[in-house]
Chain A
Amino acid sequence: MNTIHIDEELFAGYCELSVTAATAAAIEAHLMSCARCRAELADVALAAQDGPVNQHAVWGRVLERVDRPTRSITERLLCAMRVRPDTAKLVATTPALRLAWLAAVVVVAAFAAAAARINEEGPWLLLVIAPLLPLAGVATAYGPTLDPTYEIGVAAPMSGLRLTLLRTTAVIATTMPLLAVAALVAPGEGWDLFGWVLPSFALVTITLALSTVMSPERAGGIAGGGWLLALVVLIDRGGTGDFVDRSLIFSSSGQTAVAVVAAIGLATVATRKTCFETMIESGGRR
Chain B
Amino acid sequence: MSVDPSLSSDAELIAAIADGDRAALRELYVRHQPWLTARLRHRCADLDVVAEAVQDTFVAVWRGAGRWSGAGEPTAWIWGIAIRRLIGVLRHRSRWSPVSNRVSDASTLVTAEDVVLWGISHGDLAGAIDGLPVELRAVVQATILDGLTTREAGRLLGIPTGTVKTRMMRARIQLRGALT
When A and B assemble into the complex, do they touch directly, with CB atoms less than 8 Å apart?
A: yes
Determine whether A21 belongs to the interface, using a CB cutoff of 8 Å to chain B. Answer: yes
Give the size range of B's interface with the partner. 35 or more
CB-nearest residue of chain A relative to B39?
A28
Q: What residues of B have a CB within 8 angstroms of the CB of A65 in the complex?
A: 55, 59
Contact with B along A149-176 (1 / 0, CB 8 A): 0000000000000000000000000000
Task: List the A side residues contacting B25 at CB < 8 Å.
Answer: 62, 66
Cα A31 to Cα B118 in complex, Å, equals 12
Q: Which residue in chain A gives the minimum CB-CB distance to B76? A: A32
CB-CB nearest in chain A for B117: A26
Contact A42 B30 (CB under 8 A): yes
Which of the 9-residue segments B85-93, B121-129, B158-166 touches chain A? B121-129
Which B residues are in CB contact (< 8 Å) with A100? none
Q: Is A22 an interface residue (CB 8 A)?
A: yes
**In chain A, residues 61-91, which have Cβ atoms closer than 8 Å to a Cβ of chain B?**
61-62, 65-67
17 A-B contacts (beta carbon < 8 Å)? A1-B115, A15-B38, A22-B104, A22-B121, A22-B130, A24-B105, A25-B107, A26-B107, A38-B34, A39-B31, A45-B38, A55-B37, A58-B54, A58-B55, A62-B55, A62-B62, A66-B25
Give the interface of B toward A (CB within 8 A).
10, 22, 25-26, 29-35, 37-39, 41-42, 47, 50-51, 54-55, 58-59, 62, 73, 75-76, 79, 100, 102-108, 112-115, 117-118, 121, 125-127, 129-130, 132, 137, 141, 145
Give the top 8 A-B pairs by smallest Cβ distance, nearest first.
A24-B104, A25-B105, A22-B126, A21-B104, A42-B34, A45-B34, A30-B114, A26-B117
